[in-house]
Amino acid sequence: LSARSPAGEVVTIPWLDGHALQGYFLPAPSGSGQAPTVICIGEPGHRKEEFLFKLVPHARERGFSMLALDLFGDQRDDFIDALLRRSDLESAIPCVMDYLEARSDVDFARVGIIADGWGSSFVARAVMQEPRLAAAVCDGGLWDLHERAYFASRFAMSDLSIVPVPHAPLMASSADCPVLITLGEDGWLKADRARQIVQNPRLGSSNVMLKVFTAAETGAEQGHADNPSLANEYIFDWLESRLGAAARRI
């Protein structure tokens, strides 16, 4: 952090129950004025350090500042058990937005978020509740919708009262900011099922874009593990188109 130019910094962001988030704030290469900023946060179980080599180059090339976060704070890996018992993980994101709003070097009208990992939909739920975000890259609530549809079909013939069918629209129909969903056709959630959910007239929204990476172009594995650079180039190009282009610097 200290060796890069401009230098990065370690930040602490209060959250709940005395547990604080920790992150790395990496200023835009211009080093002056207010810059569009991307929050990169790992799903439960992911550490922020991986973003320093996986995502920072893409943000820097496009003139973005970047805030890399995870949910662990200063806790050990076994803190994941406590995190997964929480039903309010999405409450972390408004705290992060409050922190960025107070920084003089952030263009707060141009803040986006990337949810990395596809382990849950907590960032999708946060986007529903956080009108200050200008763009989001996440699973769009697809996993939640897929699981609830499965339970509905599984229990429909026995006891409808226990089927966890959502009564309020998920992010796909209520997000104010543009949302990009990316997945590989060989990932956990099949591409045809994802398209079916996104194109459902009851859930669909012109603000939601689905990009499926095929085996032919690579990036088709879960989490785009076979070619993460390809997927990340696409994601940051999309963010640049939404948050505004900046002078490119390498």
125 belongs to a structural domain: yes
Domain contains 63: yes
C-alpha–C-alpha distance, residues 163 and 160, integer Å: 5
* CATH number reported for the structural domain that contains residue 239 in this entry: 3.40.50.1820
Q: Say what the pLDDT of residue 203 is.
A: 56
Q: Is residue 129 part of a domain?
A: yes
Q: What is the CA radius of gyration of the chain?
A: 18
> Is 158 within a domain?
yes
Q: Find the mean pLDDT for residues 141-152.
A: 66
Identify the residue with better confidence: 150 or 75.
Answer: 75
Question: Does residue 200 sit within a domain?
Answer: yes
Q: What percentage of the chain has pLDDT greater than the value 90?
A: 41
User: Quick one: average pLDDT of 71-97?
Assistant: 87
Report the predicted TM-score, pTM, of the whole model to 2 decimal places: 0.85
Question: What is the pLDDT, as a whole number, of residue 247?
Answer: 45
> What is the predicted pLDDT for the residue at 31?
77
Return mean pLDDT, the chain. Answer: 82
Backbone angle region of 211, left / alpha / beta, with phi > 0 → left and psi within -120 to 50 → alpha:
beta
- Lowest-confidence range among 37-41, 98-102, 146-150, 166-170? 166-170
Q: What is the pLDDT of residue 142?
A: 72
Partners of 211 in beta bridges:
182
pLDDT for residue 120: 63
**Domain encompassing residue 87:** 9-243
Query: How confident is the model over 12-21, as pLDDT tens digits?
Result: 999 988 889 9
* pLDDT tens-digit readout, 113-133: 998 766 567 888 888 889 999
Cβ-contact 170, 145 below 8 angstroms: yes
Higher pLDDT: 152 or 218? It is: 218
pLDDT at 165 over 70: no
The answer to whether residue 56 is domain-embedded is: yes
- Minimum mean pLDDT range among 24-28, 89-93, 157-161: 157-161
* 122 Cβ contact list (under 8 Å, min separation 6): 43, 44, 89, 90, 92, 115
| Res 169: pLDDT | 40
Q: Is the link from the previous residue into 57 a cis peptide, with omega within 30 of 0?
A: no
Helices (H), the chain: 51-54, 56-61, 80-84, 92-101, 122-129, 142-155, 171-174, 191-198, 228-243
Domain count, the chain: 1
Show the tokens assigned to 95. Answer: 């705290």
Listed in sequence order, the residues at least 6 apart from 29 whose beta carbon sits closer than 8 Å to its beta carbon are 5, 6, 60, 63, 249
The answer to whether residue 249 is domain-embedded is no
Cα torsion 130, 56, 231, 149: sign: negative
Domain membership of residue 178 (yes or no) is yes
Q: What is the mean pLDDT of residues 223-235?
A: 90
